[in-house]
Chains A and B, each alone.
Chain A
Amino acid sequence: MQVQQEQRFWNPYIGGVALGLVLLTSFLVMGQGLGASGAVYRYGVAALHAVAPAHVEANGYMSTIFANGASPFDDFYIFMAIGVFLGGVVSSYAAGRMRIGVGKGPRIQVPLRLTLAFSGGILMGFAARLTRGCTSGQALSGGAMLSVGSWIFMLSVFAGGYALAYFVRRQWT
């Protein structure tokens, strides 16, 4: 099996401490937490803006990222997302884990898996705007800052995941 060529994943507790140190660095040096969904949102709006600029500029919520002629890519979290991607590339390549494929359980066909991956993404994208941040920005960063809203969010995420897990079990097991 190919699995033998791969390095093992880190011990989760070591991973947790390492991730915490990255987050702590971000807090202390930049005064900001980690984030991911904000950058993807900006890419989405920029793509729509390329097709229908007038439509986006007329939208009260999305037009704010173009305020005063700003570029949607001139943002701290856009740069962070580029770093996240590169970090993932370097890490997976060096560990022998970089492989084109589809992550899924044995009982599900690829087209359905990709449809679900896309649908779940839509739910998360919408939700992350609603909650002013995703698992990175709210649960992780806000959680470490002991923000009440972030802890409400974090508990809800786990509750939502566990509540639905039974119904999509064929996708994973």
Chain B
Amino acid sequence: MTFPIESLVGEFREFGLFVGALIGFGFGFVLERSGFGRAPKLAAQFYLYDMTVFKVMFGAIVTAMLGTVAAAGIGLVDLTALAQGAVSGTFVWPMLFGGLMLGAGFIISGYCPGTSLVGSASGNIDAMFTIAGVAVGSVLFGEVYPLVEGFHLSGEQGQIFLYQLFGIPPAVVAIGVTLMAVGGFIGAEKVEKIMTKRITVAATVVDEELRSRPSSRRWAFGIYGAVGVVTIVTLFFPVAKQAEAGARVATPITAADLARDVIDAPWSVRIIDIRDNALCATERVTGAECVPAAQLEQLGLAFSTGARKLVIVNDGSATPIPAAANAYPGELRVLEGGHAAWHAYALVAPEPPDPAATSEVRDANLFRAAVHSALTGVAAPPPVAAGPVGAFVPKKKKGGGCN
């Protein structure tokens, strides 16, 4: 099984949106339960007498980080593909300056954008004012975008991750971050003890009782420890992922299904014709790139996001899919019957169907006739043979500049 579940952003997108709302529900619920719906509790982080923000945030980062690294270690998910899909690129200067600005906004308003939603949900009028402010501020950014565009794009490093920066395996970085966080937790407990003795504040929501119940804390540390051990163990079988990829069999796709993709959703599919250049240049599937099998390695398919469906077109013989294509992280299909099947389906005018045929057959024939006329045209020359446009354009790796 491979995560993330791609169909939730593709064909079952609506269900994916519903899942998004469910995840959001969990997000909001946990934030509220942790006390993040109240500005004084959040702001207390910056006066050191209640470090809940730090503890919850780093607890969450450590949990999710160890979880993803461990999942990648056992081949459940491709860490690089996941990270590239889920995270924006690094732009040093706007992130540095914008972070300071957001931190200032945090202590002035008492919320961050996410917690202002939860604060409003629990009835806090100040949080509603903060949401309105966030809306105004972000629209303001859009209004002055031409002025800040240069800065917005400055210090671009591409998508770069700490393990690339340090050149060590992700699991090692994960263990390091975990140790740092645990050190931070111990420090936070000490700081809180010192500060609560010093400050007597009427409106603070410091929960003294929690500190007298260390058992649940030990329980949470136990979880970090257990997942940490799993993460370390995964270091010793880092090849699980590749073994799985090598054993993978590309599912065939019929010419009719491919035609539907090409006509209805050309952005969802990437087609690579691995036949000889001469053959491909003469006639190819609409939108296909001509990349002979020997040169497939240069495309770096293993490092692409896998967001699009990859369809390999060959000469129809039963030759195995090249390893370079097999390493593609996303959905991989091979055109059934090779290019000849496409030619026969899309570039040869269909016979009118038997009037007695079922409606499915007649619909299929109608679609095929539409594909044929769309691709061959009447006046226009065949677009598929219109020269080398679109050929030999190896897609640049999204990350860029980092390795």
Residues of A within 8 A of B (CB): 8-37, 40-41, 43-45, 47-48, 59-62, 76-77, 79-92, 95, 97-106, 113-114, 116-165, 168-169, 171-173
| Contact A114 B129, beta carbon cutoff 8 Å | yes
- Among A8, A35, A85, A154: residue with most chain B CB under 10 A: A85
Instruction: Let me know if B47 and A172 touch, CB within 8 A.
Output: yes
| Distance A51 CA – B116 CA, assembled complex (angstroms) | 25
Query: Within 8 Å of chain A (Cβ to Cβ): is B299?
Result: no
- Judging by beta carbons under 8 Å apart, are B95 and A28 in contact? no
Among A37, A83, A152, which residue has its beta carbon within 8 angstroms of that of B99? A152
Q: How does the 8 Å CB contact mask read for B165-190 relative to A, with 1 for contact and 0 for none?
A: 10000100110010000000100000
Query: A48 to nearest B CB, angstroms?
Result: 6
| Cross-chain contact of A22 among B26, B68, B87 (Cβ < 8 A) | B26
Closest residue of A by beta carbon distance from B123: A100
B310 within 8 A of A: no
The answer to whether A144 touches B90, judged by C-beta atoms less than 8 angstroms apart, is no
A131 touching B130, Cβ below 8 Å: no
B349 within 8 A of A: no
Shortest C-beta distance, A135 to chain B (Å), equals: 4
* Given A88-B118, A102-B124: A20 touches B63 (CB 8 Å cut-off): yes
Q: Is the CB of A130 within 8 A of B141?
A: yes
- Rounded to whole Å, the gap between the CB of B234 and the closest CB of chain A is 15
The answer to whether B113 and A40 have CB atoms under 8 Å apart is yes
Size of interface on B: residues with Cβ below 8 Å to A: 146
Chain A nearest CB, measured from B300 CB (Å): 20
16 A-B interface contacts by CB (under 8 A): A15-B34, A16-B62, A17-B63, A17-B220, A19-B31, A21-B63, A23-B63, A28-B3, A30-B9, A77-B20, A80-B23, A104-B203, A118-B129, A125-B113, A130-B141, A152-B92
- Look across to chain A and name the residue whose beta carbon is closest to the beta carbon of B109: A120
Tell which of B110, B142, B216 has the most Cβ of chain A within 10 Å. B142
CA distance A81 to B24 in the complex (A): 6
Complex Cα gap A137–B187 (Å): 26
B85 adjacent to chain A (CB < 8 Å): yes
In the complex, the answer to whether B60 meets A92 with C-beta atoms within 8 Å is no
Q: Which residue of A lies closest to B77 (CB)?
A: A28
Given contacts A12-B59, A19-B59, whether A130 and B94 have CB atoms under 8 Å apart is yes
Which chain B positions have C-beta within 8 A of A152?
Answer: 90, 92, 95-96, 99
A172 touches B43 (CB 8 A): yes
With the chains together, A9 CA to B30 CA distance in Å? 10
Chain A residues within an 8 Å CB radius of B63: 16-17, 19-21, 23-24
Pair A131/B138 contact, Cβ less than 8 Å: no
Contact partner of A84 among B31, B68, B143, CB < 8 A? B31
Complex: A116 Cα to B133 Cα, angstroms: 10
Q: How far is the CB of B178 from chain A (nearest CB, A)?
A: 11
A102 touches B201 (CB 8 A): no
Taken together as a complex, chains A and B put the C-alpha atoms of A67 and B124 apart, in Å, by 35
Q: Is the CB–CB distance between B89 and A149 below 8 Å?
A: yes
Mask of B218-261 contacts with A, CB within 8 angstroms, 1/0: 01110110000000000000000000000000000000000000
Q: Is the CB of B95 within 8 A of A149?
A: yes
Given contacts A12-B56, A14-B216, A127-B98, contact A36 B113 (CB under 8 A): yes
Q: Are A164 and B107 in contact (CB under 8 A)?
A: yes
Q: Which residues of A contact B382 (CB under 8 A)?
A: none
Q: Look across to chain B and name the residue whose beta carbon is closest to the beta carbon of A86.
A: B25
